[in-house]
Chain A
Amino acid sequence: MERIKLTIDGIPVEVDPGTTILEAAKRIGIHVPTLCYHPELRLEGACRICVVEVEGMKNLAASCVYPVSNGMVVKTNTDAVRKARKTVVELLIANHPMDCLVCRRHGECELQDLSRQLGVRQIRFHGEKRDIPIDESSHSVIRDPNKCILCGRCVRICEQTQAVSAIGVANRGASSIVTTPFNHGLADGPCVGCGQCINVCPVAALAEKDDTERVWDALNDKKAHVIVQVAPAVRAALGEEFGMRPGALVTGKLVTALRKLGFDRVFDTQFAADVTIMEEGHEFLARLQNNGPLPMITSCSPGWVKYCEHFFPDMLPHVSSCKSPQQMFGVLAKTYYAEKSEINPASIFSVSVMPCTAKKTEAARDEMNTSGYQDVDAVITTRELANMIREAGIDFANLQDGEFDLPMGMSTGASTIFGVTGGVMEAALRSLSELVDGKELAHVEFEQVRGFAGIREASVELAGKKVRVAIANGLGQAKKLLDQIKAGNDEYHFIEIMGCPGGCIGGGGQPLSTDPEIRMKRAAALYRQDMLKRVRKSHDNPAVKELYKNYLGEPNGEKAHHLLHTHYTQRSKY
């Protein structure tokens, strides 16, 4: 392929055809500010922040979409370019609420950053402020259209990456608004609560529902026994909130911070993840022996489960009836743990820290009260926990390491990798292989299910039988996989689906970033933690063994089924 030669700001650069000016500029270290641009989303060229001058063109070109051509002469720093960029920001803030000091994105706002970067020092345009009701219907995602700058990144990620399209742009011109079909609340539509829209929102138009006040209240309630569980992906990302490098593993500091915040017991969702493997593994074996329905699809990701209820209701019988680890933990805390430690379950306030906004909606589902109480009382995201730690004045980066409390803090390497795409499948295969074949695995790593491709597949031998497995991450990829299966193109026995790209490490409640490289670093941290674990297979977890022996009985047995399994509901799209 012939290379394209051009100059940008006088510097010659050679790139492949089809490269955009923005990419070419980046290649030679020239920074061009962007706003609606997102490397993982369809290009729109809408915000015009990235405009540059191209010799011979009357108008300014949006560098994020404009393809390079031979002999092109680009200037990224001219008077016209600077004025245009600055004016665009001025126009955006003309009707912005400007409550920056109390805004939840203060300091993490791209509009603020651009305004500073482009030297906007006065407000010359005063537009009419909008007064649109804030949509607080969802347990997961709050929409404040007044702050929206219509970059469209949320719309694109919801449609393109997640295949949900719960939101879109309505009206036109200055009345344009990102909203739901018929302006219903998010909760009344197909929104799965995954929170990917929050991760790409440059401002505070989209945010997780803030549950920290409820947690503070519980912590201040002397009569409440406040326990907390932490999902695996949190420990691989929380450090980023405190200036630590992406991929820093902060498990010990996390435990210490939670104790300092005042939680009575600090437990680990991973304990419940090991229980999940026991239940899901046995469920799979039963389906294998009783002819289905197969493939069986994992149910750990509440975003995926709700997606299936809305978009693939005919596939619901394929979804494992196992509750997610969060909810298994919730019910066990108010039954098993309460009994064992002789605490009145009514006094237990159960908090979970999740990389996920969909978990908030999951905990609020009507059926999640098998313990006789709401199984999980409050769900906060990694970001919300970081806020609490900051608010408490804890110097997170310099904390000593702490240890989880027993028994529900004991976990294996298998449950650690639940936080990354392919991890649940790998954990299941580790246990299934040993349970079925009765022989100890020489090598616990199932490399063939790892990786970050949207859809991956592999074959494994189980009891002399070839079992085909598939893994999808991100709901758009899940849709692709399910469409293929429904079209009869592929047959699988076992499928893992995670609602978010990369799995939980890329969840909608994680420190703001959708950079695939950061996701990979978080994943590497979890695989590292797995290797450091003494026990790496769920069925070897001593605390789990004790749970079954003393309380639950057989995996998939009557009591286990009653407490740890659930059912699903077909839901409409609108």
Chain B
Amino acid sequence: MDLIRSHILVCAGTGCASSGCKKVSNAMLESMQKHGLDKEVKIIETGCFGFCMMGPIVMIYPEGAFYCQVTPEDAEELVTEHLLKGRIVERLLFKESGGQRPVALFNDIGFYQKQNRVALRNCGAIDAECIEEYIAHDGYQALAKAVTQMTPAEAIDELKKSGLRGRGGGGFPTGRKWEFAAATKDEVKYVVCNADEGDPGAFMDRSILEGDPHSIIEAMALAGYAIGARQGYVYVRAEYPIAVERLSIAIKAAREMGILGNNIFGSDFGFDLGIRLGAGAFVCGEETALISSIEGRRGTPRPRPPYPAVKGLWNKPTLINNVETFANIPQIILKGGEWFASMGTEKSKGTKVFALAGNINNTGLVEVPMGTTLREIVYDIGGGIPGGKAFKACQTGGPSGGCLPAEYLDTHVDYDSLLAVGSMMGSGGLIVMDENTCMVDVARFFLEFTQDESCGKCIPCREGTKRMLEILERITNGEGREGDIELLEELSETISRASLCGLGQTAPNPVLATLRFFRHEYEAHINEKRCPAGVCQALLSYSIIEDKCKGCTLCKKACPVDAISGDVRKPHVIDIEKCIKCGACVAKCPFKAISR
């Protein structure tokens, strides 16, 4: 066996894959071969590091140097400098926004400092396609412990002690869910992993499946043991090809090692897993719709009760948990429920993964203890808002969540605190919006999404969200009428109380949330035909403020339709007839001399 002196971890998650990580690792290998290092340095393609905007990411151990946005052209320098001469390549290190000096070590980066990676612990740390690496990181120890030393009831008790709640959005206590499924008597039961992640911008489930698929297999087998099921299914969207591939490889490896199949760890317990691909319908993340889809029928929800724990897949008792929920479970069994419960708040234990997106410097995946404040996430981890702009709102909970303004930045992020201020945890999407965001437009955007993703089965959701969208479009098009706000509120009430499933029941949330904190913006659109954030095109009228214009001609050059005229060093003028309201002039003007 070769003695390896250095390990190079190259992120091979979907984010880095799309920014070209494969080419980087190929170039690294080529360069290492050229310098005869390929026997003493090993390249490992890992799952997602979470810091997606900095990809492709390359980490070199034992130093722990964290290189960002590495290109194939950088490979030679990394090999000769870092690997041959032992010198850190400073220019490829991460620099904090506003910071002067590059940060060499992963743990010193603000983005990671406040994080506590439990669900994501192996993502970016191991080769997801290698079962031995998972085992080396305590993998399958929890399953071995449960199957050989614990009764199913003890395993469920441990989970109950941990206080873990469903990470898919509902926040239902996981231990109790397992208990219900265990209590239903039937010869045949199923365990289902909900990997139909659909919130725009959220990708924690994908990252876990790509970076640590064995943790899901282990947790599902644990669930099978606890509730008395011998078969499980992972329902994953077909748009996640890397996740599907790595999960398939992992299942195959686990079967070959006897971790899936009959007589697991020499016990009477047997369990196997299958993958079912979803076709990308948001509603299939709703558990009854998901079941319907696995059964080969149209993915539409059905009323509950009966709950899946009683009558689920093929009318058999079925336990459904989401990927992130499952990813926490092996460690809870291994380290004990009390260890998990020591993190987080009174009613929200453990950590939560968030997908940071929008107007924020450090976009990516972060995992923080429950109870961390929004401010810490946005500023300490997320690095604040780009371009020195002001924070306006942040949207949590995905399309069914709410928008919180700046005065709520100190809200603790946990299930109950978010609900209390009119938002929700959801599956962990966190979109930051700066001062240039129109909140009516944001509501319209989310309604466009939910009405498009409505399955069409129940009338309040199918017709109601469509009508709400039509009203919102009217408002953003400058055709808002008196009474529109009240109509939106009334529709919201009916849709949220009368819809069949969670999608419909929460679909009006973006409107209700923006109305709650930004009602004045709606009123400005309707009554004054004005978009305060300058986003809604139909309501914009561009003009140059004479006093501020220095006649620099930048706007004139930027205008794609030649709507701006004027001589050098004299105030310019916009021809409203020609103007297409694209905003190119505003972006270019150094003197803020253009109003809209």
> A and B bound?
yes
Check B372 for interface membership: any CB of A closer than 8 A.
Answer: no
Q: Known interface pairs A150-B462, A174-B466. Does A88 touch B456 (Cβ–Cβ under 8 Å)?
A: no
Evaluate contact between A173 and B456: CB separation under 8 angstroms: yes
- Chain A positions within 8 Å of B465 at CB level: 173-174
Check A46 for interface membership: any CB of B closer than 8 A.
Answer: yes
Which of A47, A58, A65, A83 sits near B459, CB closer than 8 Å?
Answer: A47
Which of B451, B494, B500 sits near A84, CB closer than 8 Å?
Answer: B494
- Chain A positions within 8 Å of B458 at CB level: 45-48
Minimum CB–CB distance for A527 against chain B, Å: 40
Check B470 for interface membership: any CB of A closer than 8 A.
Answer: yes
Give the interface size class of chain A: 35 or more
Considering the chains assembled together, what is the distance between the CA atoms of A92 and B463 in angstroms?
A: 7
Evaluate contact between A88 and B460: CB separation under 8 angstroms: yes
Check B596 for interface membership: any CB of A closer than 8 A.
Answer: no
Check B592 for interface membership: any CB of A closer than 8 A.
Answer: no
Check B194 for interface membership: any CB of A closer than 8 A.
Answer: no
Considering the chains assembled together, what is the distance between the CA atoms of A51 and B491 in angstroms?
A: 16
Mark each residue of chain B from 453 to 491: 1 if its CB lies under 8 Å from any CB of chain A, else 0: 111111110111111001000000000000000010011
Evaluate contact between A172 and B454: CB separation under 8 angstroms: yes
- Chain A positions within 8 Å of B499 at CB level: 48, 59
Minimum CB–CB distance for B259 against chain A, Å: 39
Evaluate contact between B500 and A48: CB separation under 8 angstroms: yes
Evaluate contact between B456 and A48: CB separation under 8 angstroms: no
Evaluate contact between A173 and B459: CB separation under 8 angstroms: no
Which of B460, B462, B497 sits near A80, CB closer than 8 Å?
Answer: B497
Considering the chains assembled together, what is the distance between the CA atoms of A59 and B281 in angstroms?
A: 24
Evaluate contact between A87 and B491: CB separation under 8 angstroms: yes
Minimum CB–CB distance for B460 against chain A, Å: 6
Evaluate contact between A174 and B498: CB separation under 8 angstroms: no
- Chain B positions within 8 Å of A43 at CB level: 303
Check A66 for interface membership: any CB of B closer than 8 A.
Answer: yes
Interface of A is mostly: loop
Evaluate contact between A62 and B487: CB separation under 8 angstroms: no
Check A106 for interface membership: any CB of B closer than 8 A.
Answer: no
Check B588 for interface membership: any CB of A closer than 8 A.
Answer: no
Mark each residue of chain B from 130 to 162: 1 if its CB lies under 8 Å from any CB of chain A, else 0: 000000000000000000000000000000000
Evaluate contact between B298 and A174: CB separation under 8 angstroms: no
- Chain B positions within 8 Å of A84 at CB level: 460, 494, 497-498
Considering the chains assembled together, what is the distance between the CA atoms of A83 and B490 in angstroms?
A: 9
Considering the chains assembled together, what is the distance between the CA atoms of A538 and B219 in angstroms?
A: 72
- Chain B positions within 8 Å of A169 at CB level: 298, 456
Q: Which residue of A lies closest to B303 (CB)?
A: A45
Evaluate contact between A176 and B460: CB separation under 8 angstroms: no
Minimum CB–CB distance for A175 against chain B, Å: 7
User: Which residues of chain B (286-301) have a CB below 8 Å from chain A?
Assistant: 298
Considering the chains assembled together, what is the distance between the CA atoms of A87 and B468 in angstroms?
A: 13
Minimum CB–CB distance for B109 against chain A, Å: 42
Considering the chains assembled together, what is the distance between the CA atoms of A51 and B497 in angstroms?
A: 10
Mark each residue of chain A from 245 to 285: 1 if its CB lies under 8 Å from any CB of chain B, else 0: 00000000000000000000000000000000000000000
Check B305 for interface membership: any CB of A closer than 8 A.
Answer: yes
CB contacts between A and B, total, < 8 Å: 107
Evaluate contact between B463 and A83: CB separation under 8 angstroms: no
Evaluate contact between A67 and B305: CB separation under 8 angstroms: yes
Q: Which residue of A lies closest to B490 (CB)?
A: A87
Check A60 for interface membership: any CB of B closer than 8 A.
Answer: yes
> Which residue, A46, A51, A149, A152, has most C-beta atoms of chain B within 10 A?
A46
- Chain A positions within 8 Å of B496 at CB level: 59
Check B302 for interface membership: any CB of A closer than 8 A.
Answer: yes
Evaluate contact between A173 and B498: CB separation under 8 angstroms: no
Evaluate contact between B459 and A48: CB separation under 8 angstroms: yes
Check B452 for interface membership: any CB of A closer than 8 A.
Answer: yes
Considering the chains assembled together, what is the distance between the CA atoms of A169 and B456 in angstroms?
A: 9
Evaluate contact between B505 and A174: CB separation under 8 angstroms: no
Evaluate contact between A60 and B462: CB separation under 8 angstroms: no
Q: Known interface pairs A65-B303, A91-B463, A127-B463. Does A172 touch B455 (Cβ–Cβ under 8 Å)?
A: yes
Considering the chains assembled together, what is the distance between the CA atoms of A169 and B466 in angstroms?
A: 18
Evaluate contact between A174 and B500: CB separation under 8 angstroms: no
Check A94 for interface membership: any CB of B closer than 8 A.
Answer: yes
Evaluate contact between B303 and A66: CB separation under 8 angstroms: yes
Number of interface residues of B (CB under 8 A): 34
Considering the chains assembled together, what is the distance between the CA atoms of A58 and B302 in angstroms?
A: 18
Check A562 for interface membership: any CB of B closer than 8 A.
Answer: no
User: Which residues of chain A (141-190) have a CB below 8 Å from chain B?
Assistant: 149-150, 152, 168-169, 171-176
Considering the chains assembled together, what is the distance between the CA atoms of A418 and B491 in angstroms?
A: 53
Evaluate contact between A46 and B466: CB separation under 8 angstroms: no
Q: Which residue of B lies closest to A47 (CB)?
A: B459
- Chain A positions within 8 Å of B497 at CB level: 58-60, 80, 84
Considering the chains assembled together, what is the distance between the CA atoms of A124 and B483 in angstroms?
A: 11
Evaluate contact between B463 and A174: CB separation under 8 angstroms: yes
Q: Which residue of A lies closest to B468 (CB)?
A: A125
Check A44 for interface membership: any CB of B closer than 8 A.
Answer: yes
Considering the chains assembled together, what is the distance between the CA atoms of A169 and B298 in angstroms?
A: 8
- Chain A positions within 8 Å of B302 at CB level: 44-45
- Chain A positions within 8 Å of B500 at CB level: 45-46, 48, 62
Minimum CB–CB distance for A78 against chain B, Å: 11
- Chain B positions within 8 Å of A168 at CB level: 298
Evaluate contact between B453 and A88: CB separation under 8 angstroms: no
User: Which residues of chain A (120-138) have a CB below 8 Å from chain B?
Assistant: 124-125, 127-128
- Chain B positions within 8 Å of A48 at CB level: 458-460, 498-500
- Chain B positions within 8 Å of A66 at CB level: 303, 305
Minimum CB–CB distance for B453 against chain A, Å: 7
User: Which residues of chain A (72-105) have a CB below 8 Å from chain B?
Assistant: 80, 83-84, 87-88, 91-92, 94-95
Minimum CB–CB distance for B452 against chain A, Å: 6
Q: Which residue of A lies closest to B495 (CB)?
A: A87
Minimum CB–CB distance for B416 against chain A, Å: 15
Evaluate contact between A172 and B281: CB separation under 8 angstroms: yes
Evaluate contact between A124 and B456: CB separation under 8 angstroms: no
User: Which residues of chain B (275-322) have a CB below 8 Å from chain A?
Assistant: 281, 283, 298, 302-303, 305
- Chain B positions within 8 Å of A59 at CB level: 496-499, 505
- Chain A positions within 8 Å of B451 at CB level: 173-174
User: Which residues of chain B (429-469) have a CB below 8 Å from chain A?
Assistant: 451-460, 462-467
Evaluate contact between B494 and A88: CB separation under 8 angstroms: yes
- Chain B positions within 8 Å of A128 at CB level: 470
Considering the chains assembled together, what is the distance between the CA atoms of A44 and B454 in angstroms?
A: 16
Evaluate contact between A173 and B466: CB separation under 8 angstroms: yes
Considering the chains assembled together, what is the distance between the CA atoms of A84 and B298 in angstroms?
A: 27
Evaluate contact between A172 and B453: CB separation under 8 angstroms: yes
Evaluate contact between A174 and B490: CB separation under 8 angstroms: no
- Chain B positions within 8 Å of A94 at CB level: 463, 467
Evaluate contact between B459 and A88: CB separation under 8 angstroms: yes
Considering the chains assembled together, what is the distance between the CA atoms of A171 and B496 in angstroms?
A: 23
Considering the chains assembled together, what is the distance between the CA atoms of A149 and B456 in angstroms?
A: 11
Evaluate contact between B459 and A46: CB separation under 8 angstroms: yes
- Chain B positions within 8 Å of A91 at CB level: 459-460, 463-464, 467
User: Which residues of chain A (9-64) have a CB below 8 Å from chain B?
Assistant: 43-49, 51, 58-60, 62
Q: Which residue of B lies closest to A93 (CB)?
A: B463
User: Which residues of chain B (252-283) have a CB below 8 Å from chain A?
Assistant: 281, 283
Considering the chains assembled together, what is the distance between the CA atoms of A468 and B454 in angstroms?
A: 52
Minimum CB–CB distance for B533 against chain A, Å: 28
Evaluate contact between A173 and B494: CB separation under 8 angstroms: no
Minimum CB–CB distance for A63 against chain B, Å: 11
- Chain B positions within 8 Å of A149 at CB level: 459
Considering the chains assembled together, what is the distance between the CA atoms of A80 and B302 in angstroms?
A: 23
Mark each residue of chain B from 169 to 212: 1 if its CB lies under 8 Å from any CB of chain A, else 0: 00000000000000000000000000000000000000000000
Across the A-B interface, the 9 shortest Cβ-Cβ residue pairs? A176-B456, A91-B463, A45-B303, A173-B454, A174-B466, A87-B494, A84-B498, A65-B303, A48-B498
18 contacts between A and B (CB under 8 A): A43-B303, A46-B500, A48-B458, A66-B303, A83-B494, A88-B459, A88-B460, A91-B460, A91-B464, A94-B463, A127-B463, A127-B466, A172-B456, A173-B452, A173-B454, A173-B462, A174-B465, A175-B456
Apart from A46-B459, A66-B305, list 9 A-B contacts with CB within 8 A.
A45-B303, A45-B500, A49-B459, A59-B496, A59-B498, A91-B460, A125-B467, A127-B463, A173-B466
